[in-house]
Structure 1
Amino acid sequence: MNTTDTPESAAAFAAAFADAQWTRATGAGVDPHAYRRVTAGLTSVADWEPAFLRTGHACLQRAQEAGSPVSAGEHLLAAARWFHLATLAPDAEAARAAAAADRALGDALALLEPEARRVSGEGFTGWLRGPAGAPGTVIVVPGLDSAKEEFLDVVSALLARGLAVFAMDGPGQGALAATSAMRPDYEQVVGRVLDALGVARAGIVGLSLGGYFAARTAALEPRVAAVATVSGPFRLDWEELPQPVRDIMARRTGGTDAAREFAGHVDLAALAPRIASPLLVVDGGRDVIPGVTNGEPLARTAPHGTYLSVPHGDHLLGNARPDWLPRLADHLLQALTEAPQQAE
């Protein structure tokens, strides 16, 4: 389908795309009224990236003019969100926007949480936040086209419970998308993260495709003491996946053949029984994507799995935050504080 046959069809496609991203964008924390204003002016989906970049730069300008470090930091966090969302357009040149989001988040944390620490290594980069004496550490893993800037609300919920949090980009994600390809053996990356953080045990939460990464890591990395997934796939069927999903996966993995091979690895049937740590699987009842098997089989076959399905929730459940986010944060806190401590 050519979405640019006429100005009317191009505008209609842009409006439909904006509606489809509504709960994802507002769930990520952008102001819903601003989102409506920005997307109402789109005449084509090609306008998406420049419109969101302009909005992000407007937030940077507000940060420069702010009367306090707190206000400046809040504007910078908003900029990080808008810059990240700019990468979601089908034909976006994502590297520039992802780099801008990464810088804005770093600048925000320098003002709001100067104790936050940038930690980078082979195949990962991110921010460690929270108290030095936290009772546990949680790693937050993004998905196919998401990044650490998208899940600041998840990080905030965990920080509010006294946990330390490492929100990361891995291969093919966020700040690393332009210089690396996504890989299925994410447990190797998380292992290096744990080494860099110097922790003997940690929790992990993965969102969307990050849910597969988190569950796989929990099965194969013994230092994972608690795990949660949100809208994570149990299995992917390449032949049934919608073309837009295939296109994104091809961009993130290095081509169509690589994407097909990657999708073939996304199957937790053999790994789920090996997840020894407490597991919470969160799904939205309205999250139905062809070629994607949702998380119920994961929760059922993992030894300590619990399934939470929110009937009205969509993908990533941005329309249902109160129905799952507090429970997810409590699950990780309780699992990390009640599990037996292992020797350093």
Structure 2
Amino acid sequence: MNKPTGGNDPRGVAEARAYAEDQWTRALGIGVDPHEYRRVTGALGSRADWCPALRRTGHAYLERAERAERAGRSGTPVSPVSPVSAGEHLLTAARWFHLATLVPYEVAGVAAPTGPAVRAEMARAATEADDALGRALAVREPGARRIRGEGFTGWLRVPRDAATAADTVIVIPGLDSAKEEFLDVTDALLARGLAVYAMDGPGQGALAATSSLRPDYEQIVGRVVDALGVPRVGLVGLSLGGYFAARTAALEPRVAAVATVSGPFRLDWAELPAPVRDILTRRTGGPDAARAFARRVDLTDLAPRVTAPLLVVDGDQDVIPGVTNGEPLARLAPHAAHLRVPHGDHLLGNARPDWLPRLADHLAGALTSAGTAM
């Protein structure tokens, strides 16, 4: 199923394996099976094989879902198939399709595969991830609603047993992430009785091929809150989404609680490593736009204006040149706590139990308190 397309060039194989290793904890955080990840990426002949191989894996799960749906409709009593199986296969497909969109960035001075065909295939993978997630939710959570507007798209999911309208948390992705990446965060919030809107904004996920990242993300979140029709929201932002969430909390009065995970306080373009510059350049539309974007990522003046209860989560192993982590944000914001996980890497995919329950409890507790005070 995952035959390499890049030949047997040892250098290409080594580069592919190095890239796959770089994405290891991120892939596990997304929720794919670690053994399957090793099998799929171990067969890559070059970094150019990344997107095609991972898309093929996603399509294999779509086929499983379709077989399960057909078996369920046939009503065969000998081997009954639950519709839950189809939904699980579709969610797994969404995860693999999203992984396929990750940019095979420049490594060790070797340019990344970035031709029109590569970009087109990555765009198809993003569309497939979005479609698979929608199909999965239609099977598993018929009450989920697609909500889209100018500059955003996503899914509103509500707790299965909610007797009353639930407080709502918006999950904000980062530089090259998307709503399909943080399904475990969504599930943790739903389990605590919160409604969750998992979104893609400009330059992200399903919108990456038709728009570019923008630093004034609070404008987008404001439109989302309008579309949701709720008086207040919580925010959780991951990676660059942490900057977006903190900035929005400073400027949007309807934010009642916020959490950031591996969010940058400041970026310094001159010190950023080549892979980060490469991804920023693609996601913002060019080198000049990327430099201008990086200059805007600075919470020095905004942090004191984040008055909502704030939890800042950082991993001590998340050390990227040119990126200032969240400690200054936690110090300058008036109602903030800083959770440092010594062994946590970027996005702390290697340390989920050390922060995810606390983050979900923080948002649930802060929103409940805000609702009581109103």
User: Partner letter of residue 307 of structure 2?
Assistant: A
Q: Which of 114, 122, 144 is matched with 2:150 structurally?
A: 122
> What displacement does 1:134 show?
4.0
CA distance, structure 2, for counterparts of residue 113 and residue 340 of structure 1:
26
2:199 alignment partner, SS class: strand
Specify the alignment match of 1:49 in structure 2: 51
Specify the alignment match of 1:65 in structure 2: 67
TM-score, scaled relative to structure 2: 0.89
CA distance, structure 2, for counterparts of residue 342 and residue 103 of structure 1:
40
1:100 alignment partner, SS class: helix
1:267 paired with 2:302, answer no
* Structure 1 residue runs without a partner (length 5+): none
> What displacement does 1:257 show?
0.3
Q: Deviations over 1:238-282 (max 9, x none)?
A: 111111111111111111100100000000000000001000000
1:222 alignment partner, SS class: coil
> What displacement does 1:339 show?
1.6
CA distance, structure 1, for counterparts of residue 315 and residue 18 of structure 2:
21
Question: What aligned pairs does 1:252-263 form with structure 2 within 5 A after superposition?
Answer: 252-263=283-294
Specify the alignment match of 2:95 in structure 1: 81
Specify the alignment match of 1:187 in structure 2: 218
Specify the alignment match of 1:138 in structure 2: 169
Question: What aligned pairs does 1:29-44 form with structure 2 within 5 A after superposition?
Answer: 29-44=31-46
Q: Is the 8 A contact 1:63 1:76 kept in 2?
A: yes
Q: Deviations over 1:104-152 (max 9, x none)?
A: 0000000000100000001000000014624310000000000000000
Specify the alignment match of 1:9 in structure 2: 11
Specify the alignment match of 1:112 in structure 2: 140
TM-score, scaled relative to structure 1: 0.97
Specify the alignment match of 2:110 in structure 1: none
Question: What aligned pairs does 1:173-212 form with structure 2 within 5 A after superposition?
Answer: 173-212=204-243
Q: Is the 8 A contact 1:45 1:89 kept in 2?
A: no
> What displacement does 1:68 show?
2.3
Q: Is the 8 A contact 1:227 1:280 kept in 2?
A: yes
| Structure 1 segments (4+ residues) deviating >2 Å | 131-135, 340-343
Q: Which of 233, 251, 254 is matched with 2:282 structurally?
A: 251
Specify the alignment match of 1:19 in structure 2: 21
Larger radius of gyration: 2
Aligned residues: 340
1:329 paired with 2:357, answer no
1:281 paired with 2:281, answer no
1:99 paired with 2:101, answer no
1:98 alignment partner, SS class: helix
Q: Deviations over 1:151-188 (max 9, x none)?
A: 00000000011100000000000000011111000000
CA distance, structure 2, for counterparts of residue 165 and residue 340 of structure 1:
16
The 1:134–1:32 alpha-carbon spacing in structure 2 relative to 1, beyond 3 Å, is farther
CA distance, structure 2, for counterparts of residue 342 and residue 123 of structure 1:
32
Identical pairs, percent = 75
CA distance, structure 1, for counterparts of residue 321 and residue 12 of structure 2:
25
* Structure 2 residue runs without a partner (length 5+): 1-5, 69-80, 105-112
Q: Is the 8 A contact 1:225 1:278 kept in 2?
A: yes
2:44 alignment partner, SS class: coil
2:300 alignment partner, SS class: coil
User: Partner letter of residue 279 of structure 1?
Assistant: L
2:64 alignment partner, SS class: helix
**RMSD in angstroms over aligned alpha carbons?**
1.4
CA distance, structure 2, for counterparts of residue 341 and residue 223 of structure 1:
15
